[in-house]
Chain A
Amino acid sequence: MATREAAAPQPLRLRATRRRWGEDVVKVVLALCALVSVATTVGIVVALFLPAFEFFGQVSVREFLTGRNWAPLFEPPSFGVLPLIAGTLLVTACASLVCIPFGLGSAIYLSEYARARTRRILKPALEVLAGIPTVVYGYFALTFVAPLLQDIGLPVGVFSALAAGLVMGVMLLPTVASISEDSMAAVPRDLRDGAYALGSTRVQVATRIVVPAAISGIIASFVLAISRAVGETMIVLIAAGGQPNWTWNPLQAVQTMTAFVAATGQGDVPTGSVEYKTIFAVGATLFVMTFVMNVLSIRLVRRFREVYE
């Protein structure tokens, strides 16, 4: 009564004919590619913090973080980084005045007011702004915006935090607009429809329903834009000024952290000197600031994605 086991048609060999070395090699090669990004981060951390630690062996952290005089080349040198930070924050504030309200406004328009066809044209057009090299923006700030500010009567010189900041704001406008618009687009139609059905106007739906629902993505876009403003180099190098200046007046010329690093790094500074190490100390400070903001922004984006996807 036994049923027969089927005889295999060809000699049955379910084992691999030979070990597939190729597959293992491929996996190793690909993992090595991925390691390049790890090596980059390690390299950045080492390149920044090793010399920075050495620097702080010679200069006290306290003087660095609280001193208001940045003059590393003077005799005697002073290493208070506050003027550079103030310069950075001043320019960032001017930029935020432009990119945050108008970026959000653009996003609301694209998301709630524009027709699909208009949006399809306008959104990429806005991206063009983001694609223009920063050196071109710097040129524009110097040759167009600064004279314009003078023409309307503001007491600004050739260099000012305001000129650089305004231009930077326009450059960052697409960043805010794009990410905010994405997060508003992710808000489900039902929410809007429910509000419209109750008789809300478009303004009310946009400001009371959509923006609050998309708020974490919107805030993420603000944080990202600010982070980029802090890290921007060329616009401030060309148009904000080259002298550290401890001031909160945007009409004055200032030097930002990034401009300082760029200016000093271009020079033929002897390796290992204190001056050389200032590049890394300031660079490390810059890196920490932007890193914190980036992490925050990524967290916020993840949160809005989780809610709706």
Chain B
Amino acid sequence: MSVTMADVSVNIAEQRRELPAKEHRTILFDVRDLGVSYNENRALDGVSLEIYANFVTAFIGPSGCGKSTFIRCFNRMNDLIPSAAVDGTILYHGEDLYGSQVDPVEVRKRIGMVFQKPNPFPKSIHDNVAFGPRVLGMTKGLDERIEKALQQAALWDEVKDRLKASALSLSGGQQQRLCIARCLAVEPEVILMDEPASALDPIATTRIEDLMHELKKEYTIVVVTHNMQQAARVADMTAFFSVTRGDEGQRTGILVEYDSTSKIFTQPSDSRTEDYVTGRFG
């Protein structure tokens, strides 16, 4: 299913998104020459970009280009994979996320994550949202915190009468919003979303996208998506990743182009970007 330039331009024009000028943006993450290897395989190489506060930034690209690997660098989830090695720098508020003294738990307190397939804990709705605050010691005013998180995730009205019910009794879309609420309950600064709507039906997807618009007022959002139209709908900045092949046929992900969404979709600088967004490949 190919999206023509014309379709996308119309969408962008309709949304008339205006980004603040460069001088007024604040840099939250400064990524410098980041690479990731799994044992001998170079999964990602030489990525440099800046993520701006209170923006929605999308990573798009064909499958296997390292988008998920990249986003997991921001909250040090790649630490959990023994064979993964990260090189390069990510500065968060000017401090290196991978510094020797840095505690991943502290990182994840501030930088939360929502996964592709909703993964509610096998507990009640209340205990799901309460889990984060409890393990991090934020036990004061727990009930208010939970209500606020569920409201921000646009789930409160649907579950307020059955907080003790099992989280697994919710629909897929509700479960994903619950996971978002769970993430919000610890009051992070950043929310990373790894293809948050790919397991959901179109209506649930729309609700998640609306949420992203709301949430970016208070949070910074980074989202991986394989759906270009979604990126066009929600993202302020878009990074396009692709794959290069090495001499022996190994696939390594690289960053091709990073710019405002409207520019990526209407006037991409790189021909590879243009090929992708017009559906010539990918």
Contacts and interface: CB of A to CB of B under 8 A. Distances in A.
B106 A14 contact: yes
Contact of A9 (B99, B103, B107, B189): B189
Contacts of B94: 5
Given A14-B102, A15-B101, A16-B106, A3 B26 contact: yes
Given A12-B93, A12-B95, A14-B97, A6 B106 contact: no
A36 interface: no
Interface in B86-110: 92-95, 97, 99, 101-103, 105-107
Interface residues of A, number: 16
A13 interface: yes
Nearest to B95: A14
Contact of B106 (A1, A9, A15): A15
Q: Is the interface of B mostly helix, strand, loop or mixed?
A: mixed
A12 B28 CA distance: 12
Contacts of A6: 26-28, 53, 93
B25 A13 contact: no
A180 B92 CA distance: 57
Contacts of A26: none
B22 A5 contact: no
Contacts of A4: 25-27
B95 A1 contact: no
Given A14-B92, A14-B102, A5 B107 contact: no
B23 interface: yes
Interface string A36-77: 000000000000000000000000000000000000000000
5 cross-chain pairs, A with B, having the tightest CB-CB distances, nearest first = A16-B103, A6-B26, A14-B102, A8-B93, A15-B101
Interface of B: 22-23, 25-28, 50, 52-53, 92-95, 97, 99, 101-103, 105-107, 189
30 contacts: A1-B22, A1-B23, A3-B23, A3-B25, A3-B26, A3-B27, A3-B52, A4-B25, A4-B26, A4-B27, A5-B27, A5-B94, A6-B26, A6-B27, A6-B28, A6-B53, A7-B26, A7-B93, A8-B93, A9-B189, A12-B93, A13-B106, A14-B95, A14-B97, A14-B99, A14-B101, A15-B102, A15-B103, A16-B106, A20-B105
